[in-house]
Amino acid sequence: MALVKTGTLDDSMRKFDEALNALNQHVMHECKVEIEEFERARKNVEAKLRQVQNSDAVHELEETTYRCEERLNRNMREVTRDIDRMRREIEDDLTLDDAKKEARLKALFDAARSERERLNKKYPAAMRAQMLHEVQRVLLH
In tens, the pLDDT along 56-71 reads 999 999 999 999 999 9
Q: Does the reported pTM lie above 0.85? A: no
Q: Which DSSP string do the residues of the chain spell out, in sequence order?
A: --SS-HHHHHHHHHHHHHHHHHHHHHHHHHTHHHHHHHHHHHHHHHHHHHHHHTSHHHHHHHHHHHHHHHHHHHHHHHHHHHHHHHHHHHHH-TTS-HHHHHHHHHHHHHHHHHHHHHHHHH-HHHHHHHHHHHHHHHHH-
Which domain, by its residues, includes 49?
6-53
Q: Are residues 39 and 62 in the same domain?
A: no
Same domain, 62 and 96: yes
Q: Which is higher by pLDDT, 53 or 133?
A: 53
Domain count within the chain: 2
47-105 pLDDT per residue, tens: 999 999 999 999 999 999 999 999 998 998 999 999 999 999 999 999 999 999 999 99
